[in-house]
Amino acid sequence: MKISIVIATKNEEKMIKDCLESVLWADEIVIVDDESEDRTVEICKEYTSKIVSNESKGNFHYNKNLGIEESTGDWILSLDADERITIELANEIRSAIKKNNKLGYYISRKNYFLGNWIKGCGWYPDYIIRLFKKGATNWPDQIHDVPQISPKSATERLKNPMIHMSYRSLDQFIEKFSKYTTKIAKEEYEKGVRITKYRIPVFFIIKPAYWFLRKYLLLHGFRDGFRGLFICFASFMTVFMTYAKLWEIQEKRT
């Protein structure tokens, strides 16, 4: 069974090398680059000749699916540039695809924030389908959705986690926060969600507070110190800002 690594990139010169070094055991590496303006493509050429350039226009899931289409492997391992596969996980992946009795596998992620592994806030174990047979699933159009495989019996969880170096600085976090909330607000508007005076308390108080309390108390964000507090408050602000941007879209289009 041949396995293809599929990575969608954009200006990832600081992260992509370590990611590629961690998957040299695979049969094929496919890169779909979103018109990077740094040395990302140059670095990728040292590891693979299979590099496709495509402007995603903000829909990076499209580039992930394009990479899947361009791959020739029986199995797909879909990664981001800031993720790394440990030796233990690589060995487990090879054993899993040899069995060939499932359509996909959930892999947990050890998510790092400003250099520390975050164990609470709902950030761990953070299982997601990343290893799957080609054709079994794809990345959904919605930015916050993830690949799914039905029935559940066709999937299994792998034991070893991957490493995810999610946010290395607050500047990076703020940049992604802005892009993410803008995209989600547009998606909500297209779904027909609207801000009315009767729903203001729900959108701007109840929902944001719910996500903060859920992550900080129920999901033990308090155990991660200030990082945990920041992440939980950021969840509050993500919901708040998403609906604020939705309100802005409404105002401009009415």
Closest CA to 100 of 120, 123, 75, 68: 75
* 225: Cα separation from own chain's centroid: 24
pLDDT at 202: 97
pLDDT at 142: 80
Dump pLDDT digits (tens) for 78-129: 999 999 999 999 999 999 999 989 999 999 999 999 999 999 999 999 999 9
Question: What Cα–Cα distance (Å) separates residue 210 from each residue in 173, 218, 219, 235?
Answer: 22, 11, 12, 10
Q: What is the CATH number of domain 3-166?
A: 3.90.550.10
CA dihedral 127, 133, 135, 139 (to 10 degrees): 20
Between CA 251 and CA 152 the distance in angstroms is: 43
pLDDT at 2: 96
pTM of the model: 0.89
Task: Assign 191 a pLDDT band (cuts: 50, 70, 90).
Answer: very high
Contact 48, 29 (CB under 8 A): yes
Between CA 28 and CA 141 the distance in angstroms is: 25
* Average confidence (pLDDT) over 59-71: 95
**Structural domain boundaries in the chain:** 3-166, 169-253
145: its two tokens: 């959705």
Between CA 170 and CA 158 the distance in angstroms is: 32
State the Rg of the chain over Cα: 19
Task: Assign 143 a pLDDT band (cuts: 50, 70, 90).
Answer: confident
Task: Assign 59 a pLDDT band (cuts: 50, 70, 90).
Answer: confident
